[in-house]
Amino acid sequence: MTLRRKVIAGNWKMNKTAADGVALTKDIVAEIGREATVDIVLCPPFTALESVGRALEGQSIKLGAQNMHPEKSGAYTGETSAEMLRSLFVTHVILGHSERRTYFAETDAFINKKVVAALANQLKPILCVGETLAEREAGSTLAVVQRHTEGGLAGVTAEQITSVIIAYEPVWAIGTGKVATTAQAQEVHAFIRDLLTKLYGAPLAQKVRILYGGSMKPANAAELLTQKDIDGGLIGGASLEARSFIDLVKAADAAS
Ligand code: PEP
């Protein structure tokens, strides 16, 4: 039994038109609706935020974005600010996803600016951290996770930390079908909680939700979600289809 409410967040990545997103959202709402006992967040692409947000009106399911620019406004072609997200009733934002680190060269310092800006605008960051296969094989998993976590959280205050959700996503497990073993995942989650304890003290560290991400699906979720420090999942592939996403929510509910 933990005090932390579990979170299941769906990262749709660059998938679904607005119409497809609304159809998926309606299917999820029809089965879960207001009854959810876990926090559920849908993160469609920017082009579907408004219509998915409308489909979520009056429901407990929350709306998340997949990225954000740290500046308030200005000459940043193609970018989206916290204020713009807030105007669409977005409550969460994924930051520092490994695909952004890899394909868009995002650094810890830049991701940190986004985390700070998101919090200043009452958006809850889902800060992604995690090692590549080469880093794991070189024995630097914990050092990388420490650098991502401390780098991403620089300047985040004790008052703000419980609004942050951390997602541990081993890069080698994302979209590959390779899941970290429960022992591998729990080890890193416990390490992150220890880091948070050093930074913010135990009472606050115990309240921060740490999600696992990397090929999580209904078949492997129960085992992962019953680990002491695993408080939910950031779901890619399995969030694109209503049945598997709903089953993941149910698994989180059963593990609560
Ligand atoms: C992700 O990209 O956040 C993710 C966890 O993807 P998948 O579930 O497809 O591995």
* Continuous H helices in 121-176: 133-137, 141-153
Token couple for 23: 């159809």
Residue 4 three-state SS: coil
* Single-letter amino acid, residue 54: R
In whole angstroms, how large is the CA radius of gyration of the chain? 17
Q: Which of 97, 99, 131, 148 is catalytic?
A: 97
Active site residue 97: yes
Closest residue to atom 6 of ligand 1, CA basis = 236
Token couple for 228: 């002491």
Do residues 128 and 145 touch, judged by C-beta distance below 8 A?
no
Query: Is residue 208 within a helix (H) or strand (E), and if so which, with residue range?
Result: none
Q: Confidence band (pLDDT; 50, 70, 90) for 239?
A: very high
Phi, then psi, of 39 in degrees rounded to 5: -80, 130
Kindly state if the Cβ of 151 falls inside 6 Å of ligand 1. Answer: no
Residue-level pLDDT at 251: 96
d(CA 56, CA 203): 33
Residue-level pLDDT at 36: 72
Active site residue 159: no
pLDDT in tens, 162-216: 999 999 999 999 888 888 899 999 999 999 999 999 999 999 999 999 999 999 9
153 CA distance to ligand 1 middle (Å): 22
Residue-level pLDDT at 1: 47
Instruction: Identify the CA nearest to 159 among candidates 198, 207, 126, 127.
Output: 207
pLDDT in tens, 104-121: 999 999 999 999 999 999
pLDDT in tens, 191-200: 999 999 999 9
pLDDT in tens, 83-93: 999 999 999 99
Residue-level pLDDT at 154: 98
Q: Which of 99, 106, 135, 169 is catalytic?
A: 169
Angle between helices 141-153 and 108-120 (to 10 degrees): 40
Looking at the predicted structure, is the pLDDT value of residue 2 above 70? no
- In the chain, the domains with their CATH numbers are 6-255 (3.20.20.70)
Pocket test for ligand 1, best of 211, 234, 244, 248 (most atoms within 8 A of CB): 234
pLDDT in tens, 112-160: 999 999 999 999 999 999 999 999 999 999 999 999 999 999 999 999 9
Q: Confidence band (pLDDT; 50, 70, 90) for 35?
A: low
Specify the range with the lowest mean pLDDT, choosing from 34-38, 97-101, 137-141. Answer: 34-38
Kindly state if the Cβ of 216 falls inside 6 Å of ligand 1. Answer: yes
